[in-house]
Amino acid sequence: MIKPSLRERALRHLARRDHSQAELTRKLAPHGTPEEIAALLEHMGELSLQSDARMAASWIRAHAERFGHTRLKNELARRGVAREIIEEALAGEEVMNELARARAVWRAKFPAAPADAREWARHARFLSTRGFDAATIHAVLRNEPEPEDTGLEPGVEAR
């Protein structure tokens, strides 16, 4: 059986989803020398087949509804994307503000506000693991729902 070339392997990975240069380097490492991989990735970058900026923007679009800025930044950094590229991708994306996202994530998981300190801590831990900062978590958990959030018009009480 013929082994696929380094280029074919890289294209197969990129056909599935965008990868950062660091991810591709790691995945191709067993199949070529560091010099061959670097040259291939440089050539793929010139042809716009691989782009860390495109990968970061794509990843943020796919995950922004579920995660806070902290987690988005950390996950992209773990995947080898440079901080400058991450900041540009976050700034360039039209996502709802952090507080609105945190409220949406929290409401999807928990049907009601925390009843006691133990439950409050559980809710806060959940939001923290999703990458929301402490100020956002406190704002979500201490505020009462807005009228539009309850499905009622302002000034109308539930029966």
Cα–Cα distance between 93 and 96 in angstroms, integer? 9
Q: Tally Cβ neighbours within 10 Å of residue 124.
A: 18
Q: What token pair was written down for 63?
A: 């995950």
Q: What contacts 97, CB < 8 A, 6 or more positions away?
A: none
Give the dihedral sign, CA 95/98/100/105: positive
**Sequence letter at residue 95:** V
- In this predicted structure, what is the pLDDT of residue 107? 93
φ and ψ at 51, to 5 degrees? Answer: -150, 125
- In this predicted structure, what is the pLDDT of residue 147? 38
- In this predicted structure, what is the pLDDT of residue 156? 39
Give the whole-number percent of the chain exceeding pLDDT 90: 68
- In this predicted structure, what is the pLDDT of residue 146? 46
- In this predicted structure, what is the pLDDT of residue 157? 43
pTM of the predicted protein model: 0.75
Residues of the chain with pLDDT under 70: 1, 94-96, 144-159
Cα–Cα distance between 5 and 106 in angstroms, integer? 46
Give the whole-number percent of the chain exceeding pLDDT 70: 87
Cα–Cα distance between 26 and 18 in angstroms, integer? 14
